Amino acid sequence: MDQGTNSHQVTTLVGLRIKSKRLPTWLTEFFQSHLNRILGFTHFNELYSRLPEHEDHKFSKTILNELNIKLDLSGESLSSYTLTGPQIFVANHPHGLLDGIVLDHLITSLRPEAQIMAMHVLGTIPEYKKTLILVDPMKKRSRKSLNVRSWRQAYKLVAKGGALVVFPAGAVSHYRLSSNKVLDPDWSPHIASLARRTGATVFPIFIHGRNNFLFQITGTVSRRLQNLLIFKQLPKMRNRSLSITVGKPLVPESWTHIGDDETLSNHFRDHVEILDRT
């Protein structure tokens, strides 16, 4: 890890690095510093460095405590179900980084072996190295092999009776002009294929809320830039409550009659989004 110094020792986990053979070093460092602050990377690094000592598996809870974010759970009680065997927890993705932190805390406390499919940039966080299956939602050619390996890893996990947490949209919810709503992007049919091949029970989870107006407008201009802003959104939830609704589990017998993966993926999505109205 790179180390930086501010008023206290700061561990630099995430951030942009600007390199240029034409510009002087001081100028590239100036732009790099300001961009990392504008995009929220600096704040996240400082937050991470201030965290009290914790065990790796309690990292998500430690962040939630540090930000004083309270969870308001409704719907089904996960602890009332038998949480063994192949299971997939699917959720919408309204906030970004916060969604993964919250579900990591909730699900791994009940199924310690559970893993979360998440953006590759989070792989720089040491505490998440064992619990994340990393993917590139923007599907860059240079990371194509990463996505293939990750879906194989997810299949092996669930096929042997493990639990997977996934945001099938692969990216954060954004404003859609056509519907005048903030919605997830299209869900990947891969999640339906995974559930079908493993015979997994699917748990729908709806995370309430959305990111701010600036985030939504940015998404209409550039999805890549919007993805960079997910770190900036995290501290905005400080001292707030996050509402989460859990739906009834969808056992394979209830959806095996659905023929193709795209339709099945939309079926899972419908069961998540209906929780917004319960």
Phi-psi region at 21: left, alpha or beta (left = phi > 0; alpha = psi -120 to 50): alpha
Q: What is the mean pLDDT of residues 243-267?
A: 96
Distance CA 123, CA 133 (A): 9
* pLDDT tier, 7 (very low <50, low <70, confident <90, very high otherwise): very low
pLDDT given at position 215 = 84
Which range, 181-185, 234-238, 269-273, has the best average confidence (pLDDT)? 269-273
Distance CA 244, CA 100 (A): 13
Residue ranges of the chain assigned to CATH 3.40.1130.10: 59-277
> Do 72 and 240 form a contact (C-beta atoms < 8 A)?
no
Q: Is the pLDDT of residue 244 over 70?
A: yes
Distance CA 38, CA 59 (A): 25
Distances 150 to 130, 133, 186, 187, 268 between C-alpha atoms, Å: 13, 6, 19, 17, 21
Q: Is the pLDDT of residue 278 over 70?
A: no
Q: What percent of the chain has pLDDT over 90?
A: 55
100-151 pLDDT tens trace: 999 999 999 999 999 999 887 788 888 998 889 988 766 555 566 778 899 9
What would the CATH number be for the domain defined by 59-277? 3.40.1130.10
Give a three-class secondary structure readout of the chain: CEEEECCCEEEECCCCCCCCCCCCHHHHHHHHHHHHHHCCHHHHHHHHHHCCCCCHHHHHHHHHHHHCCEEEEEECCHHHCCCCCCEEEEECCCCCHHHHHHHHHHHHCCCCCCEEEEEHHHHHCHHHCCCEEEECCCCCHHHHHHHHHHHHHHHHHHHCCCEEEECCCCCCCEEECCCCEEECCCCCCHHHHHHHHHCCEEEEEEECCCCCHHHHHHHHHCHHHHHHCHHHHHHHHCCCEEEEEECCCECHHHCCCCCCHHHHHHHHHHHHHHHHHC
